[in-house]
Structure 1
Amino acid sequence: MAKKLLIIDTDCGIDDAQAIMMALAAPDVQVLGVTCCFGNASLEDVCQNVLRVLAVCKREEIPVFQGLAGPLVGATDMPMDHFGSDGLGDVLEDRDPDWRQKIQKEHAVSAMTRLASEHPHQVSLVALGPLTNLALAVRLDPGFPDRLKDLFIMGGNMEGKGNVTLCGEFNFVCDPESAHIVLEDFHCPTHISTWEYCCRNKLTWEFFEEMLNQDSPAARFMKLLTSRCSAYSQTALKTKRDVHFGPGFVSYDAYAMAACLDDTVVTKSIECGVHVELQGSVCRGMMALDPTDQLKKPHRVSIMTECDLEKFRMLLSRSLRQP
């Protein structure tokens, strides 16, 4: 059976690292390349983070491409310290001084469009950060989305609950214009793992500890990354968002990756048109769902709502058994 072909677009924080390792552990998947964008950390840190994840998993043959360092319009003022200042928990001291030589010379946007052209209708694109690279790709090559097999996005929200603004989710708020462009212009099958979907399908801290205590380099690496990060601290997470979703472990980007790797992980979804709001001080970056078709959108996307948690746990555990 032919392998599933993936491009992973990432702002590599700790949860991105988990998602990337999930893809690398899948026996029927070939990662054609990893494209980097700003988000959880600066673009330079993101590139280095991806290289470090690939090295830990002994998959350094996978090409890494540098993309956009900021949003399409203006500058982002979103905090970039949820996973530490470097995106990986500020625990890695042995940075590679030669990392730039390991990044491909080709720009991430060019690589995306080229790989889709070389493998028409075969490539799944998994977008784990702000959608800036994707938006520029469709502006430069309007036929790019039609050459993809499908698109999986971690981002946006479906109930108006925000995690960085009152109504907005981090990835979309970092670059609302790009999120708007992608959800208007990408007409390939599109699947969205929203912030609320991830939080409503969270896992127990007991599973988190069990997963990290596996005897493998990948598990030891992830245990190190989460060791000093408040996002993975049960004590630090006693915050207002528990009012909505309750306590538990959430590896946000892994939900979108899991859906791409195994479509039976998603047990329920909503198909409808969506709109990303670009105006206002409160709702800018919010994704609005249109289940009653008031906007008459020509393209409907699949919004994930319920997850097979047992299958999701298995994919997460397998990701840390390698190599």
Structure 2
Amino acid sequence: MSQKRTYPSGEEKQKRKKVEEEKMQPEKGSAANAMADKLLLIDTDCGIDDAQAIMMALAAPRVRMLGITCCFGNASVDDVCQNVCRVLSVCERTEIPVFRGAATPLVGNPDCPISHFGTDGLGDVLEERDPELWKKQIQSEHAVNAMIRLVSENKGKVSLVAIGPLTNLALAVRLDPSFPQKLKDLFIMGGNMEGKGNRTVCGEFNFVMDPESAYIVLEEFLCPTYIASWEFTCRHKLSWDFFDEWISQDTEAARFMKKITSKCWAYSRDVVTSKDAIFGPGFVSYDSYAVAAAIDGSVVTKSAECAVRVELQGALCRGMMALDLCNKLKKQHRVFVMKECDLSKFRQLLTAALRLPRKT
């Protein structure tokens, strides 16, 4: 004779649900609780401004860096890898994995020579090191494979910050077409919104170095995308007085930054750059604006939401990002092009970047 099955009352169901929810809540200080931190993956062509941006991310509270992927750009990809290792060493964060990625653009060869931040990307002032030592610090896994793996392991949680040519990202979506939809969001320093350029008449450096990759990323990455254009960063420049105070802090990171900027013409008040000619004199930490937006969305106070497209043709406009403010392209995907910035919050994040390593 079978027993009569009993069902829990509505009150009992609520109690059981509450118990189950409490079980799923992470304990304070547990590994599960750490997952509440913002997860960042930075793709870089590590020059001096990239170093500043990476330090900003390392100094930010409740941010966990999953890894740093390297690409050619400000220097060769080997120099970029070494530069990232140097930055992590200064900040005492060598546990963060570094991956070697693309050495050339998708089409053709890198547009060389590049000397904005010195031939090595970090001001040509650092002492020689064992050329084999830094290679031991680089993971054997290729940057593109690592990018796909890390994002797949943390679906919907990773903010990817791209502060160099977009070659690694373009390769990632070719290997895994579902890669963009696994991201939480994408932050890019690159492109332009007014047709003003620093590498060419109409093109910004990161996009001009690999226009095909920039085109692919802005057509196929349909995740929330935020772009800090060259003009945006220049319009929110800081004073050289701030720069002098910033690198004069009594920390290892500040001393490192003071050294690598000491002989770099891009940080000389006496050299008039394209940025100075168009926007006036001042200090611009270009890549840091994208990292700041990823860390704290309130840093950006105004954006233009629109479709964009990268121009692949033309002697003057190749690599330029065009904003479709009137929806003539009929594209469904729109990006957020940053227009205004809270400079007070940005200065705070930048100041904290050179207070590394943290004292325990």
TM bucket (normalised to shorter chain) is over 0.9
Say whether 1:243 aligns with 2:277.
yes
Tell me if structure 1 keeps the 8 A contact 2:91–2:356: yes
**Aligned-pair CA distance for 1:99:** 1.1
Instruction: State the alpha-carbon separation in 1 of the partners of residues 207 and 78 from structure 2.
Output: 21
Q: Which amino acid aligns with 2:321?
A: M
Aligned to 2:17: none
2:162 paired with 1:123: no
The secondary structure found in structure 2 opposite 1:252 is coil
1:243 Cα shift?
Answer: 3.2
Residue deviations 1:155-195 (CA, integer Å, cap 9, x gap) = 00000001011100000000000000000000000000000
Structure 1, unaligned runs of 5 or more: none
Report the Cα distance in structure 1 between the residues aligned to 2:164 and 2:343, rounded to whole angstroms: 23
**Helix, strand or coil for the counterpart of 1:135?**
helix
Contact kept? 2:41, 2:67, Cα under 8 Å: yes
Aligned to 1:7: 41
Q: Could you say what secondary structure the match of 2:287 adopts? A: helix
Q: Which residue of 1 aligns with 2:144?
A: 109
For residues 67-106 of structure 1, what are the structure 2 equivalents within 5 Å? Answer: 67-97=101-131, 98-106=133-141
Q: Any residues of structure 2 matched to 1:304-323 within 5 Å, and which?
A: 304-323=338-357
Structure 1 residue 116: Cα displacement: 0.7
- Is residue 69–residue 100 contact of structure 2 (8 Å, CA) maintained in 1? yes
- Aligned pairs for 1:149-298 within 5 A: 149-236=184-271, 238-298=272-332
- 1:103-129 residue CA offsets vs partner (Å, 9 max, x unmatched): 000000000000111000000000000
* Aligned match of 2:89: 55
Aligned residues: 322
Instruction: State the TM-score, normalized to the length of structure 2.
Output: 0.88
Tell me how large the CA RMSD over aligned residues is. Answer: 0.9
Give 3-state SS (helix, strand or coil) of 2:263's partner: coil
| Runs of 4+ with deviation above 3 angstroms | none
CA distance, structure 1, for counterparts of residue 273 and residue 116 of structure 2: 14
TM superposition shift of 1:322: 1.1
Instruction: Render the CA deviation track for 1:251-281: whole Å, top value 9, x for unaligned.
Output: 1000110011010000111000000000111
Instruction: Report what 2:171 is aligned to.
Output: 136
Q: What secondary structure does 2:160 align onto?
A: strand
Contact 2:167 2:210 in 1 (8 A): yes
Structure 1 residue 240, shift from structure 2 partner: 4.6
* Distance in 2, Cα, partners of 1:112 & 1:240: 34
Aligned CA distance change for structure 1 residues 96 and 317 (closer, same or farther; 3 Å): farther
Residues 245, 72 of structure 1: alpha-carbon distance in 2 compared, 3 angstrom cutoff: same
Q: TM-score with structure 1 length normalisation?
A: 0.98
Residue 78 of structure 1: how far off its partner (Å) = 4.1
What code does the residue aligned with 2:323 have? L
Spell out, residue by residue over 1:261-317, the C-alpha distance to the aligned partner (whole angstroms, 9 max, x if none).
Answer: 010000111000000000111110000000110001110000001110010000000
Q: Over alpha carbons, which structure has the higher Rg?
A: 2
Structure-1 residue corresponding to 2:181: 146
User: Hey, what's the Cα distance between the residues in 2 that align with 1:227 and 1:242?
Assistant: 19
Inter-partner Cα distance in structure 2 for 1:172 and 1:40: 12
| Alpha-carbon offset, residue 101 of structure 1 | 1.1
Correspondence for 1:32: 66
User: In 2, distance between residues paired with 1:241 and 1:106?
Assistant: 38
8 A Cα contact 2:198 2:274, kept in partner: no
